[in-house]
Structure 1
Amino acid sequence: MNNKHKHAVKPLAAMVLTSLSLSMNAQAAIDEIIVTAQKREQNLQDVPISVDVLTADAMRVSKIDSTIDLALNVPSLTFQQGFSSLVSTFGMRGFSTFTLDGGIQPSVSFVIDGVPISRVGEFAAELGDVERVEILRGPQGTLFGRNATAGAINIVRKKPTETLEGYVEASVTDDDEVITRFSVSGPLTEGVSGLVAGYGKQLDGYIDNLYPGSKDNGSEDNWGVLGKLQFNPSDDLEILLTGDLRRQDTTNSPSATLIPEQGDLAFVGFLRTQALGNGDFAKGQQVLNDPYTINANYDNYSDTENWGVSADISWNINANLSLKSITAYRDFRIATAFDVDATPATILDPMGLPVVHFERTNYSPNSRHDHNVIFDTDYFSQEFRLEYVDDRVQWINGFYFQDYNDQSSNETPLAFVDYFFEPGAGLPGDGVLGNNYYFDAPEVEAEATWTNWALFSDLTFRLTDSVELFGGLRWTQEDVDFDYSRRNIIGPAEAPFFNPQSADFVNLDLDALLADPLWSLFQGVTEFSVTDRSEDWSGRIGVSWDATADVNFYVSASRGFIGSGISFGRVANLDNAIIDPSIAEAYELGMKSSWFDNTLRVNGALFWQEVEDLQTTNQIPGTVNVETLNAGTITSQGLELDVTWAATDNLTFSGALSYIDAEIDDLIQPCYPGQVAGCTIDNSGDGFPDAQDVAGNRPPNAPELAYNVRARYDMPLSSMPFDTFVQVSYVWQDEVQFKLDSDPLTEMDAYGLMDVVFGIEDKAGKYQITVFGKNVTDEDFYAGLEVAEGVIGRQFARVSRAAQSYYGIKARYNF
């Protein structure tokens, strides 16, 4: 164990030593947790899967407001932030699918109220009226479908109640965040009940933009509503109708340049430093040394609208047989824009930089807008499940269908200086390098439709009073139709029809322009259509053994499958349009146990997992383009541990740990800028090494050690109408590498975060007031580190609000 790990375990050791000094004669007991990790209600301790569960109460006290917050509270779950929710990703056990331009399914599946959520942009969302969140580790394809090769996150929202109840809640923080929530639930008429819930969130930007008249970045203005109607025509029939709508307007996480270009591009680094300071080199250095300060003339923002409806019908045919149908439709749209060069440079004043972002585009035949990227997604799904249950058998048989449509528009107008083009390209100009800029902005329009169907069966059979056998199989067939169009135009950037200050800007005749002999050399159209079919099986098999009434062991093998992906990006062509399917295999040995009259719960799992042809995206070195690819084979093995101890009636300790030994088995990647050691492969055939073998390196965003510990002490006050409590929690994560090429400048150091909460609650449970501090030690960390030499810099970062300390107060009233 290295010194960093020794330092990391000090808070954990201190808490354990404190715990051991307390009496084991406590009368407290740990509450039972009911989950639906196997598509039926079960005690967590009876589920032969590595599962972590966060209840509504735990999330409320710990201020877990969104899905992004989950990654800071569950050690085996990671999150990598992109310029918007569109390109952010979750990972488990060292496997994450980082998608920058769509077209591939994430390796961690999200399921909300039994409906699989398919668009990665939908994952980063506020948690509304949630009953619990279940984090299922390892392949879950048998019951949860195609994109659950790394794991699944099952979010269960509250159902309508039979009695009138509800709450209102509000919180404010010292960094100007205001969150309000409400929920009302109860009977409407005989056999009919309903629920209405909503939330609103406003957060001021936490990243200071020095450009005059600009907005600070990192702000949020979100709201959402949820409605449910439950009909019970008889004791055996339940119909649950659900509708939800979410709007999210943010100013994103911008590209904060930390290190400008170096080496052969040091002159560009000097120009970038000056540009960030508007000519003041010292001011530019100030921006570079502060990831919470930028100087960008173009606003970064995302506008998101997401809504869906579903019908969940449950029919108990008889005492042993039941039928469930879940029908759903969802619609997701996001429009996002970002300043690609992340400086004040414009085409009228490029400041000598090699790449400058245009503020607008006028050449699109479909629209004239200020967005860089737009995605429109809608999908319909239908699932039927027939379940048989008796004293020895639990048998689920099902059918799943999904029709998924994804349309994208990518217009990122840029101006490149002439030395970016190959010699002899024939560009018009004065022959002097470095002072002629050329407009280059391919307009990409793409549409993909996936049709997916699956048959599945999962059986649990009690062989003896202490032994259960379980197994399942799922067959999936997926067809995709893909249409792609890219129009390229390259020409002098100062031309009137590309200059936003010119009257000709809004009157561009694109056809006439392309017919001009001068421009015909520098434009092109790439169009193609392609279809593909992928089909394969997922499954699991295992055995569980009740060693005692409170101790259970299980062993299992599982397999997951993700169908073919699509390359949506600016460099797509017919040869690289289809991305191979991805296959996951895993073996797991686990234990679920309760000790000392259910005052100590210890759950753990040892696992080995391999993912072949992991689908992901990667930035092409020296460009602003990304490519969608299969990242070879990645293997991961390790330990997951969850512990809860009710030390006394009033004192509870809990903790979770994830230790992962993950590595890339076989993959060739371009060398990172300035790389010498290991850069030995001549991929281009020009006699110079430009690629490396990254086998043996850790995959992106895969910390070796991560853990959290939490202590809560409840203080009853017999002479007061309320009681109090205090909670302290600490999370630790090892260093991580964010890129496949293992660039040292995209590796983030380890970090630890401490949160504190003090609360009062009346004895009847009517109201609760908490005062909280998040990241009270003000520990810095990054949500992502990247490289874009010549565009943004040698190193740039995306920073999270959670990397700064903030404090607040929350009040809740229940009725």
Structure 2
Amino acid sequence: MTITDSRLKSILLSGAALGTLAMPASAFAQDAAQDAETADSNVIIVTASKRETTLQEIPIAVSVTSGEDIEDAQVRDLIDLQTLVPSLRVSQLQSSANTNFIIRGFGNGANNPGIEPSVGVFIDGVYRSRSAAQIGDLPNIQRVEVLRGPQSTLFGKNASAGIISIVTDRPQFEFGGQVEATYGNFNARILRGDITGPISDTLAFSLAGNINKRDGYARDLNLNQKFNNRDRWGVRGQLLWEPSADLSFRVIGDYDKINENCCIAANVRENPGITAALRAASGQARPLEAADPFSYAVRNNFPSTNVIENYGGSLQGDWNVGALTFTSITAYREVRSTTNQDSDFTSADLIGQNAANTSIDTFTQELRVASDFDGPLNFLLGGFYFNENIDFTNSLLFGRDFRGYASALIGAGTGGQLSAPILEGLLGVPQNTFFRQGQGIFDDFTYGNDAYSIFGQVDFKPIDRLTFTFGFNYTEDKKRVTSNVVSTDAFSNLDLVAIGFAQALAGRGVDARNPAAVGAFAQANPAVFAAIQAGAQNPATNGLLALRGLQFLPPFLNYPNAVESGRTKDDDFSYTIRANYEITDNVNIYATYATGFKATSFNLSRDSRPFPTDFIPGSPVTNPAASPIRNAGLAVPNLTTGSRFAGPEESEVYEAGIKAQWPLVAFNLTVFKQSIRGFQSNVFTGTGFALANAGKQSTFGIEFDGTVRPTDGLNLFVAFTYLDPKYDSFLNSAVGDLTGATPAGIPALSASMGGSYTYEFEGGTKFTVRGDYAYESDVQIAEGLPGFIVTNPNGTRNFQPALDIARQFRRQTDLVNVSATLELTNGFEISAWARNLLDDRFISTVFDSVAQAGSISGYPSLPRTYGGSIRFKF
């Protein structure tokens, strides 16, 4: 393990120097204004083990951020939370609903509705299966727990990389509430309020609502309007019924809506030849902005649509019977998402529509019983049922300029000999057959998932201070998918190899449509026939093959069919073995071995393709070799292989840690080796997604966090995560063999540090200042750029150029956030704040520009934001 970045070294050293003093507010979630007079001031209750315990006692790598810290740091959603938790990375890319969560470098699932994330998100114990159901602004947050490493034993459904558990305040039997108004740059307006109180001696309620609006910080110079705005609102109501001290029921209902023009993709690298073709096709002098992504200026020909509705309800019941507690959580949720985007990201009307509608209906039921015996043995036993149905439609259609654009590229690819009209004439098809406005591909997928799991955990304490834990989870998961995908792109339906083959035979006076004539010619002239076959597959002799790059919407082989069932069934037994020893009342050590599991994920995109075992690619004329799909008569033109689904992920972790807590100082230190076999890699290919299993991805890591209160009112904190990830084996990724490579997007070092100080004036008025710094070391931001992949005539691909280009794009982040709050004794608070104070700018990721080979697009970071808030608590 070698650290070569000098800045990385210096931060590690500074973190080590603070190690005897510090741990971040995110880890112990302490109120910065609270005096540290006793050890109890540091006690934080968590439910990471599905029973209440203190953060000090729980032998799990978990970071906890309190509602007060979230409020003070002006964290508005889960995307902002990563500045307080270094092991967590959250990114928002193509749309408002496209959010990806990564813990310790592991995570996936964004933007492909068939993939559940490897990081499970729970809100008040209810599993949220897709990112669109996770990103709304939540009121009344009590705390956010981030559990690092496989958590399949207790959480079961898709927790192979970790868990984010959001806990909100329960209704109170004492009347109270708050209202808050915020105004910031980019005309940001935020209004939040909540109220809680008793209805009777046994029934309490709470009601909360929020509105979050902001003008766009980017501008479309072609449309003369702002992009990347924020427009969200939501309501949430709760009832808490406690008919007795041993029985309670909590009902939660919520609705939130997002309606935003998001998200810009800036030009990072321009291909002059492509720009010239865009200019010729659209008649515009500047169809896209020059490669300056931080100008936040773009050119599109229509605004993006992002309308997301997320709503549902849950019922939780808890019943104490002696030393046993029975818990039931029942939930039903729906997500409705409508998006449309100018996916070529230019003012030329190439992609006239990329519209998607996603409907997700989810039902979950959890039952469990936990013991609280005085003796050495305690247990937890439960079951979980999950049912989900998804309907996903997507239409990608050519715009009015695509025909002219394609014609210009055809001319460039054939040395000016061909154009779209000339090509139509040569092939004997009517004019305006190819690249016509409104042609494209229409996707329609239906998806069903049923899963259940049985889980349990036993804690055995043979002697005082020593506890052994064994946990298990058996999961069975069934999925079924039906596709109805239709391509009306006439040019992509052409078999250019077969056409070249037919033209060569015609030159010999043989009609390729007559099998008997072809067979007779082949028998009489075997050497010539073999040369014709080879020549049809060689771009040097078949000039049509130079146009394959324009065939990016080929016909789709729908399934289920006679060869492909469209069904999967997985089962797995995961387990945890842990030893925990309390050295003193203030110091714990623990060691854990745990496994995790994530079931098969389906590729619900137009890049879903048959497995190589089911199909041999190539032309049926030049490659008549037998394969199940060919034998069944199912082959369609230009069909290639890939995957319909990626098989299960299986993770494991070896972990050891120490937790120490005193009245003024606390720290956690964790060392781990974590790996995932069959990691589900989901790579954007320009029009769809390539889904594949990595052989194995592993990460060695060190995590540290600590806090110290050297004097009344002063709280200092630091946290860092060091990761050394690699692909142990990944032969068939979407961009070639990555075995031995470092996975993209995972910084070697992530750090968060800062502090807060509260001064109390005579009379009780308080003034608090807070600052934090979040750092990520330099890292490559893309595995490769699949648009640069060259498909060879035999169906193989040349990947290396994509890898070389991707290595040129890197990211480093340096984010500084500050706030100051004046808290009056009458309940009023006045705050001023800034996030990304130094206006650090970086590209979060890059991809090959759609239908523009050689051009690269990327997503620029959010610029500096600042503002003020007024809050009244009662």
Q: Could you report, residue by residue, the CA deviation over 1:518-569 in whole angstroms, capped at 9, with x for unpaired residues?
A: xxxx995633122211001122111000011100000001111111111111
| Deviation readout 1:297-350 (Å, 9 max, x if unpaired) | 1212210000011110011112x111111000000011111111111112xxxx
Counterpart Cα distance in 1 of 2:658 and 2:582: 10
Aligned-pair CA distance for 1:260? 1.0
Contact 1:28 1:649 (C-alpha < 8 Å) held by counterparts: no
Q: Does 1:800 pair with 2:872?
A: no
| Preserved CA contact (<8 Å) 2:837 2:864 | yes
Report the more deviating stretch, 214-223 or 195-204. 214-223
Q: Using the alignment, how far apart are the partners of 2:267 and 2:106 within structure 1?
A: 27
Gaps of 5+ in 2: 24-34, 427-431, 493-552, 561-565, 612-642, 785-802
CA drift at 1:6: 4.4
CA contact (8 A) 2:21 2:665 kept: no
Corresponding position of 2:571: 535
Q: Residue 315 of structure 1 aligns with which residue?
A: 319
- Which residue does 1:694 correspond to in 2? 738
1:133 aligns to 2:132 (yes or no): no
Counterpart Cα distance in 2 of 1:698 and 1:325 = 43
> In structure 2, what is the equivalent of residue 612 of structure 1?
677
1:720-763 Cα distance to aligned partner (Å, 9 max, x none): 55121211211101123332235435733312111111111124
d(CA) in 1 for partners of 2:20 and 2:320?
Answer: 51
**Change over 3 Å in CA distance of 1:748–1:525 after alignment to 2:** closer
For 2:396, the equivalent position in structure 1 comes to 412
Unaligned runs of 5+ in 1: 347-355, 360-370, 494-521, 672-690
1:425-464 equivalences under 5 Å are: 429-431=421-423, 437-438=435-436, 440-464=439-463
Measure the CA separation in 2 of the matches of 1:552 and 1:77.
24
The SS at the match of 1:103 is: coil
Question: Is the CA contact 2:22–2:717 (under 8 Å) kept in the aligned structure 1?
Answer: no
TM-score normalised by length of structure 1: 0.84
CA distance in 2, matches of 1:383, 1:375: 26
Structure 1 residues 86 and 725, CA gap change in structure 2 (3 angstroms):
closer
436-445 or 189-198, which deviates more: 436-445
- TM value normalised by structure 2: 0.79
Aligned pair partner of 2:753 in 686, 709, 720 = 709
Contact 1:296 1:339 in 2 (8 A): yes
Call closer, same or farther: CA 1:81–1:179 in 2, change over 3 Å. same
Amino acid at match of 2:230: E
Aligned pair partner of 1:600 in 665, 681, 687: 665
| Per-residue CA distance 1:112-135 (angstroms, 9 max, x = gap) | 111111112222222322110000
Which of 352, 368, 392 is the matching residue for 1:358? 352
Q: Name the structure 2 match of 1:344.
A: 347
For residues 275 and 760 of structure 1, do their structure 2 counterparts lie closer, same or farther at Cα, with a shift above 3 Å needed?
farther
1:306 paired with 2:306, answer no
State the one-letter code of the partner of 1:4: R
Check conservation: 2:450, 2:478, Cα contact below 8 A. yes
- Indicate if the aligned counterparts of 1:100 and 1:617 stay in contact, CA closer than 8 A: no
Q: C-alpha separation between the residues in 1 aligned to 2:555 and 2:441?
A: 9
Q: How far apart, CA to CA, are the structure 2 residues paired with 1:644 and 1:457? A: 34
- Give the C-alpha shift of residue 788 in structure 1: 2.9
The answer on whether the counterparts of 2:670 and 2:702 sit within 8 Å (CA) in structure 1 is yes
Aligned to 2:779: 736
Check if 1:66 corresponds to 2:77: yes
* 1:339 partner amino acid: D
Deviations 1:432-490 (A, max 9, x none): 99x97445411110011000001111111222111001110000001111111111112
| Contact preservation (8 Å) 1:528, 1:574 | no
Give matches, 1:463-474, under 5 Å.
463-474=462-473
Shift of 1:431: 3.2
Report the CA distance shift for 1:792/1:774 in structure 2 as closer, same or farther (over 3 A): farther
The CA distance in 2 between the partners of 1:10 and 1:420, in whole Å, is: 58
CA distance in 2 between counterparts of 1:450 and 1:18 reads: 48
1:62-461 matches, within 5 Å, as 62-212=73-223, 214-261=224-271, 266-271=272-277, 278-280=284-286, 284-285=289-290, 288=292, 290-318=294-322, 320-346=323-349, 356-359=350-353, 372-391=355-374, 392-414=376-398, 415=402, 417=406, 419=409, 429-431=421-423, 437-438=435-436, 440-461=439-460
Change in Cα spacing, 1:459 to 1:277, as seen in structure 2 (3 Å) is farther
Distance in 2 of aligned mates of 1:68 and 1:618: 21
Verify: 1:786 aligned to 2:824, yes or no.
no
Cα contact 2:339–2:356 (8 A) shared by 1? yes
Q: Is the 8 A contact 2:22 2:707 kept in 1?
A: no
Opposite residue 422 of structure 2, the aligned amino acid is D
Partner SS state of residue 69, structure 2 = helix
Q: 1 or 2, which has the higher strand percentage?
A: 1
Shift, 1:637, TM fit: 0.9
Question: Secondary structure at the residue paired with 1:143?
Answer: helix
- The alpha carbon displacement at 1:277 in A equals 11
What amino acid is aligned across from residue 527 of structure 1 in structure 2? N
Structure 1 position 633, deviation (Å): 1.1
**Is contact 2:307-2:338 (8 Å) kept?**
yes
* Deviation for aligned residue 1:152: 0.2
Q: 2:645 aligned with 1:578, yes or no?
A: yes
For 2:318 and 2:778, locate their aligned partners in 1 and report how far apart those are by CA, in whole Å.
47
Deviates more, 1:48-57 or 1:791-800: 791-800
Matched residue SS, 2:86: coil
Question: How many angstroms apart in 2 are the aligned matches of 1:232 and 1:792?
Answer: 63
Could you tell me whether the CA contact under 8 Å between 1:104 and 1:616 is conserved in 2?
Answer: no
CA-CA distance at 1:95 after TM superposition = 0.9
State how far apart, in whole Å, the 1-side matches of 2:587 and 2:341 are.
Answer: 53
Q: Number of aligned pairs? A: 726
- Asked which structure has the greater CA Rg, the reply is 2
- Alpha-carbon separation, structure 2, partners of 1:91 and 1:729: 21
Instruction: Supply the AA of the counterpart residue of 1:236.
Output: D
Note closer, same or farther for the CA distance 1:113–1:95 as it changes in structure 2 (3 Å cut): same
Is 1:771 the equivalent of 2:832?
Answer: yes
User: More deviation in 773-782 or 398-407?
Assistant: 773-782
Runs of 4+ in 1 over 4 A off after TM superposition: 6-20, 25-30, 269-277, 418-423, 522-525
Structure 2 residue aligned with 1:353: none
Given residue 748 of structure 1, which amino acid in structure 2 is its aligned partner?
R
Quote the Cα distance in structure 2 between the aligned partners of 1:240 and 1:731: 37
In structure 2, C-alpha distance between the alignment counterparts of 1:168 and 1:50, rounded to whole Å:
35
Give the aligned residue type for 1:407.
D
**Does structure 2 conserve the Cα–Cα contact (< 8 Å) formed by 1:745 and 1:795?**
no
Q: Which amino acid aligns with 1:461?
A: F
- 2:632 aligned partner: none
1:32-43 equivalences in 2 (<5 Å): 32-43=43-54
Q: In 2, Cα distance between the equivalents of 1:294 and 1:372? A: 20
Give the AA of the match of 1:229: L
Percent identity, aligned pairs only? 26
Q: 2 CA distance for matches of 1:185 and 1:19?
A: 36
RMSD of aligned residue pairs (Cα, Å): 2.9
Tell me the residue number matched to 1:634: 697
- Displacement, 1:70? 1.0
Letter in 1 for 2:347: P
